[in-house]
Structure 1
Amino acid sequence: MSSSSFPIDTAQLVALYMQCIFYGAVLITVGYGLRVLLWSRDGQFKGRTHINWIMVGVTMAMFTIATMEMAFGLIHVLQAFIYYTGPGGAKGELSDISNWVNVMRTADYVAQTFIGDGIMVYRCYVVYERNWKVVVIPVLLWLAETACGWVTVYIEATLHTAATLDQFRLVPFITSVLSLTLAMTTITTGLIVYRIRKINNSVASKDAARGKGGNGRLIRVVRILVESGLIYTISVIVFFCTFLTSNNAQYGVSDVVVQLIPISFTLILIRVESGAPGDGSAVTHSTSNKPITFLSVRSGIHGAEMSPGTRPNFPGRPSDAYMMDDLSSDRDGWKGDRRFDPVV
């Protein structure tokens, strides 16, 4: 479908409709995600000292950006179809690429991907026991992606002409943003999956030696991360394809990406929480009823190898659960367990 057969006024109306659908999913998933972060399973407020405020702040920031994107989309449609009376009608208004609403919507996209991709890098950093060397390349890709994104916003704000996102000055930077996003998400997800599977194999070897079943919990974490990551990655790929073909469907897809980032983020919280109490075999009895979480270790053992049948004791303390807080009412009792169970 060419741009002429899918004009920009039609594309923007369809984009608003698509946003409404996904924003409804944002409301549900963010609401449930906040319940996971702020309340325990028995309905008790966790208390200020037991809440991961970084994750709460990130969730609220992504929700705010998603809400602003919805508002800007509605304002733009109202301006074009109701209030604008100048030449070109609705198409003329929507094609003004330097219109403040267009610029703010692009800024929303850049800000949302900055937060979402930053969380992916942070997850990788925590999973590798805060070894910054592992995330050097993802961080550089993340920063380059963000820089290209804000250059795109600047160019869009200063063009002052009738154009779409495939305007020749914008193409190199938007292409860079999407390419770097895909590269960064693929690398970080691959690193996280590799790390978890490596630890799972070590734990499984120990369990096999003891005649126990395997550890299905860590495999489930891998599946959750991959599936949630694919939601975001596939949406970016679709956006990339529509952009490269100069199809006005890119407006609807890019708007949906802004909504999908908080959805995929909070789905990890929800799915881990929903499967925590009885997910088949557990590594040990002490963690069979605990939610899966990744802990940072401050004991200077970065990159230490685990031999089969070994369960080292770490003096480090748990912190920064990147997927979810501890939902158990006996949080302090769990903190006393230093064994290397479903943690990395």
Structure 2
Amino acid sequence: MASDSDFVDVLTTFIAIFAEIFLYGIYALLFFVCLWVMLFRNNAPNWKLITPLVTMFIVSTAHFAVALYAIIEAFVQLPSSKDGHIQDSAVIAAYGLYNVLSFIGDGIVIYRYHVICDSGFKIVVLPIMLFLANTSLGIYSTASLAFEQGPFWTTAQHFTLATLCSSLVLNTVCTGLITHRIWASTRIISPAIGSRHAAKCYAVLAIIVESAAIWTISTAVVIGTYVGHAPHAVVISFEINVQIVVRSPLSSKLPASISELDSLRPSASSRH
């Protein structure tokens, strides 16, 4: 007869997977709409953004498959899973796929920051250094799971927390600078482009802030559950955060048009 702890584990897994299924469905719809816009609404598709977005969708789908396998294992005890080997492998795969998604998303944020600010390579030196450090931490934290008994053992927990925190700092800082750049540029050139076009710029700005805010809150919750040593809360918040991480870069197509507005600045100044 199953114990209460086993029932809680199964219930936690069910809630986490149900949440990921729901969010994955929304993400898949948004992805194909965004992909269609990027491919067929532009004269020249930006493959620098399309390629990582497609890669993220593939990795997210792989994570979704691992999650489905986890719930099957939770309800149907496979003979080969009695020693926990398959379950441990699924956990390692899930964390590894999440780190891959996080790395690609961070790279898109840095690219977006570079395009919007348009100030040369020097402006992204610090974000790239933080990105490389975050990548190293993520690889080590994933590898440490293979040698320890779970994500709450000392080494794995410390490196996982460091990975999450560094990614949070990188995204928050870059998104904040991007937001300021778009807001400041729109204020300067709004007399030249008119209120209608300025409103579109502010709408893009709202999308960026909204996406970043959702991702920031979600990641902060995951960090909080780790710090609070709440295993069941970590499982649920982690699965939810996976499908939020992949959603945020879908707005990367929009800011690209904002950088083109700076070309109007000379015409704006010439009118005075």
TM-score of the two chains, using structure 1 as the length reference: 0.68
| Equivalent residue in structure 2 for 1:171, among 127, 151, 157 | 157
1:225 correspondence with 2:208: yes
Alignment of 1:230-309 (within 5 A): 230-247=213-230, 248-267=232-251, 269=253, 272=254, 292-295=257-260, 309=268
Contact 1:148 1:177 in 2 (8 A): yes
| Equivalent residue in structure 1 for 2:120, among 107, 115, 131 | 131
> Which residue matches 1:99?
88
> Which residue matches 1:63?
57
Segment of structure 1 superposing worse, 124-133 or 180-189: 124-133
Mark the runs of 5 or more structure 2 residues left unpaired by the alignment: none
Contact 1:129 1:295 in 2 (8 A): no
Partner Cα distance (1:136, 1:243) in 2? 30
Q: Which of the pair is proportionally richer in helix? A: 2
What is the CA distance between 1:198 and its match in structure 2?
2.1
> Which residue matches 1:121?
110
1:145 correspondence with 2:134: yes
Partner Cα distance (2:187, 2:59) in 1? 40
Say which SS state the counterpart of residue 169 (structure 1) adopts. Answer: helix
Distance 1:250 1:311, change over 3 A: farther
Partner Cα distance (1:228, 1:311) in 2? 36
Contact 2:117 2:181 in 1 (8 A): yes
What is the CA distance between 1:32 and its match in structure 2?
0.3
> Which residue matches 2:186?
200
Distance 1:169 1:293, change over 3 A: same
Partner Cα distance (2:127, 2:86) in 1? 31
Partner Cα distance (2:54, 2:266) in 1? 41
Contact 2:108 2:252 in 1 (8 A): no
Percent identity (aligned): 24
Contact 1:203 1:308 in 2 (8 A): no
Q: Supply the AA of the counterpart residue of 2:26.
A: A
What is the CA distance between 1:262 and its match in structure 2?
2.4
Partner Cα distance (2:55, 2:80) in 1? 36
> Which residue matches 1:333?
none
Say which SS state the counterpart of residue 166 (structure 1) adopts. Answer: coil
Partner Cα distance (2:86, 2:162) in 1? 20
Q: Deviations over 1:143-176 (max 9, x none)?
A: 21111111011111222xxx43211121210110
Distance 1:311 1:176, change over 3 A: farther
What is the CA distance between 1:5 and its match in structure 2?
10
Distance 1:6 1:181, change over 3 A: farther
Partner Cα distance (1:6, 1:251) in 2? 15
Say which SS state the counterpart of residue 170 (structure 1) adopts. Answer: helix
Distance 1:234 1:97, change over 3 A: farther
> Which residue matches 2:47?
53
TM-score of the two chains, using structure 2 as the length reference: 0.85
Say which SS state the counterpart of residue 158 (structure 1) adopts. Answer: coil
Mark the runs of 5 or more structure 1 residues left unpaired by the alignment: 41-45, 274-290, 298-305, 313-344
What is the CA distance between 1:199 and its match in structure 2?
1.4
Q: Supply the AA of the counterpart residue of 2:64.
A: M
Q: What is the Cα-based RMSD across aligned positions, in Å?
A: 3.2
Contact 1:65 1:108 in 2 (8 A): yes
Larger Rg: 1 or 2?
Answer: 1
Partner Cα distance (2:39, 2:268) in 1? 37
Distance 1:201 1:86, change over 3 A: closer
Aligned length: 265
Distance 1:7 1:128, change over 3 A: same
